[in-house]
Amino acid sequence: MIARRNNLLFLSCCDILFSMKKITTLFLVGIFVILSITLIAYARGYRIDFKKKEITGTGLLVTTSEPNGASVFLNGHLTTATNNTLNLPPGDYDVRIVKNGYLGWQKKLKVEAEVVSKTEALLFPSTPSLKPLTINGALNPLLSPDSTKIVYAVSSQGLPNDATDRSGLWIFPLPVRPLSFARDPQKIASNFRGFDISEAQIIWSPDSKEIIALFFSDPKKPSSGNVTSAYLISAEGQNTNLRDITATFSLTLKTWEEEKKAKYQDQLLSLPKDFVKVATASASLLAFSPDETKVLYTATTSGTLPQIIKPALIGANSQLEERELKKNQVYVYDVKEDKNFAINSNDHLFWLPTSRHLVSIQKDTISIMEYDGTNNAVFYAGPFINSFVFPWPDASNLVILTNLNKSAGEIPNLYAVSLK
């Protein structure tokens, strides 16, 4: 009897211990689940508002700049420095990024709960430096289609008697390396048979490997009707032989145009069909960005650009877009985010290799803006010859044609204007 009672007591103790172990396990699992949910919620931007006694969602603002270490002002208040990440209540924020010696950056950004917003500010120097790239003059410079070299002519006029061999056609390479390590210009053709090559019209091949030099009966009024001679020149050698293609010039040019058209068609295939319909019917495409994710174009008629990505992407550019197209208005369409931005400039525009910035050429000034039309600021207001402005492949410099000493009758030369 006593043994049976002891057995029952032992079993009861075991049951109690098992129950306590089960409760402890469930308690620990519960604590783990609560902690996991709390950590996930925290990572997604949720915070406890002790004043309101509630949990509120926040968004992340990643403040990046190049160069970094710039001051970040939110709604006029110095808040942090780049590069940093801020948890902010949802809403619109005036974000200003400043650094001594650089042009300021400012945007109104929308912060949404559980969404990451970025500044990605590229700051340009407020007093850019100039460095000469040529010293013997540079007439009619022309950037290659692949943006890696510039062809220009040097006239024998104005050169010293002992330097006449410098006249001819030259190539200046634009390598992706520090400017101090850039290669020297290469001469690819000299004056010949009474032809002054500085008077020729230059045409690049689509692959940037060859050049056609056209000579006209009236150099001041060049046209296809008064071409007297055409020569094909390699752009990859020094003082290469010229090949007379006068008889086959039209055929060569036609072949090159077909190659350009084929490339253009391939680029169109990368665009959404709905955008292509609008672009081909009511727009004139100006230029794809270097990474081909954006298109700079002008509306030729009024129309409507339908929303292509539905629903709209979370975390996309929050700047005001324009989908009602107006005739003669310039726009940038972002293929990845299906955003369309109006560009308030009718000046000469071209892309920086960043694919996020446009360069605008006005009379006596060069401005740089972001692809959505914001942060449009005058970058350079010194002397330069309009339309002769070219980007360096790594966006470290702009190349301009200018004459810094007009009173001395100096021939214009190429100069690098630093962007970093």
**CATH number of the domain enclosing 92:** 2.60.40.1120
Three-state DSSP class for residue 204: strand
Q: What is the pLDDT of residue 212?
A: 94
Share of residues in the chain with pLDDT > 70 (%):
80
Q: Are the C-beta atoms of residues 200 and 183 closer than 8 Å to each other? A: no
Examine the fold and report which residue of 101, 122, 143 is the final residue of a domain before the chain moves on. 122
pLDDT in tens, 165-222: 788 899 999 987 766 566 789 999 887 777 788 888 999 999 999 999 999 877 666 6
Q: Please indicate whether residue 405 or residue 277 has the higher confidence score (pLDDT).
A: 277
Q: What is the pLDDT of residue 191?
A: 79
Is 289 among the domain residues? no
Is 210 among the domain residues? yes
Q: Are the C-beta atoms of residues 265 and 276 closer than 8 Å to each other? A: no
Its domain, for residue 115, covers: 58-122
Mean pLDDT along residues 147-161: 82
- Given a cut of 70, is residue 248 above it in pLDDT? yes
Q: What is the pLDDT of residue 380?
A: 93
Examine the fold and report which residue of 98, 122, 146 is the final residue of a domain before the chain moves on. 122
Is 362 among the domain residues? no
- Domain check: are 244 and 162 in the same one? yes
Is 193 among the domain residues? yes
Average of per-residue pLDDT values in the chain: 84
φ, ψ dihedrals at 55, nearest 5° = -95, 125
- Domain check: are 146 and 249 in the same one? yes
Greatest mean pLDDT among 37-51, 89-103, 170-184, 269-283? 89-103
Instruction: Tell me the two tokens of residue 418.
Output: 């630093």
Examine the fold and report which residue of 77, 106, 122 is the final residue of a domain before the chain moves on. 122
Diameter over CA atoms, the chain: 133
Is 393 among the domain residues? yes
Q: What is the pLDDT of residue 135?
A: 87
Q: Please indicate whether residue 19 or residue 258 has the higher confidence score (pLDDT).
A: 258
Is 274 among the domain residues? no
Report the distance separating Cα 114 and Cα 314, nearest Å. 10
Q: What is the pLDDT of residue 184?
A: 84
pLDDT band at residue 307 under the 50/70/90 scheme: very high
pLDDT in tens, 291-304: 999 999 999 989 89
Q: Which residues contact 287 (CB under 8 A, 6 or more apart)?
A: 295, 296, 349, 350, 351
Q: What is the pLDDT of residue 152?
A: 95
Instruction: Give, in order, the Cα–Cα distances in Å from 284 to each of 221, 278, 324.
Output: 27, 10, 16
pLDDT in tens, 108-134: 999 998 889 999 999 999 999 999 999
- Domain check: are 135 and 261 in the same one? yes
- Domain check: are 100 and 219 in the same one? no
Encoded amino acid at 420, one letter: K
- Domain check: are 252 and 394 in the same one? yes
Q: Are the C-beta atoms of residues 143 and 167 closer than 8 Å to each other? A: no
pLDDT band at residue 226 under the 50/70/90 scheme: confident
Walk across the sheet containing 377-380 and list its strands.
348-351, 357-362, 365-370, 377-380
Which run of H or E residues covers position 251?
helix 249-269
- Given a cut of 80, is residue 270 above it in pLDDT? yes
Q: Please indicate whether residue 26 or residue 237 has the higher confidence score (pLDDT).
A: 237
Walk across the sheet containing 116-118 and list its strands.
84-88, 59-63, 116-118
pLDDT in tens, 278-289: 888 877 877 999
Q: Are the C-beta atoms of residues 113 and 90 closer than 8 Å to each other? A: yes
φ, ψ dihedrals at 6, nearest 5° = -65, -40
- Domain check: are 93 and 134 in the same one? no
Q: Are the C-beta atoms of residues 107 and 92 closer than 8 Å to each other? A: no
Is 323 among the domain residues? no
- Given a cut of 80, is residue 145 above it in pLDDT? yes
Q: What is the pLDDT of residue 278?
A: 83
- Secondary structure of 74-114 as H, E, C letters: ECCEEEEECCEEEEECCEEEEEEEECCCECCEEEEEEECCC
- Given a cut of 90, is residue 36 above it in pLDDT? no
- Given a cut of 80, is residue 306 above it in pLDDT? yes
Q: Which residues contact 374 (CB under 8 A, 6 or more apart)?
A: 106, 107, 319
pLDDT band at residue 262 under the 50/70/90 scheme: very high
Q: Please indicate whether residue 380 or residue 53 has the higher confidence score (pLDDT).
A: 380
Q: What is the pLDDT of residue 208?
A: 95
Mean pLDDT along residues 243-272: 92
- Domain check: are 194 and 254 in the same one? yes
Q: Please indicate whether residue 365 or residue 49 has the higher confidence score (pLDDT).
A: 365
pTM of structure: 0.83
Q: What is the pLDDT of residue 267?
A: 87
Q: What is the pLDDT of residue 340?
A: 97
- Domain check: are 250 and 398 in the same one? yes
- Domain check: are 234 and 138 in the same one? yes
Domain count, the chain: 2
Greatest mean pLDDT among 66-80, 151-165, 307-321? 66-80
pLDDT band at residue 90 under the 50/70/90 scheme: very high
- Given a cut of 80, is residue 45 above it in pLDDT? no
Q: Are the C-beta atoms of residues 402 and 382 closer than 8 Å to each other? A: yes
- Domain check: are 93 and 210 in the same one? no
- Secondary structure of 359-395 as H, E, C letters: EEEECCEEEEEECCCCCCEEEECCCCCCCCEEECCCC
- Domain check: are 135 and 260 in the same one? yes
- Domain check: are 75 and 166 in the same one? no
Cis bond leading into 376, ω under 30°?
A: no
Is 11 among the domain residues? no
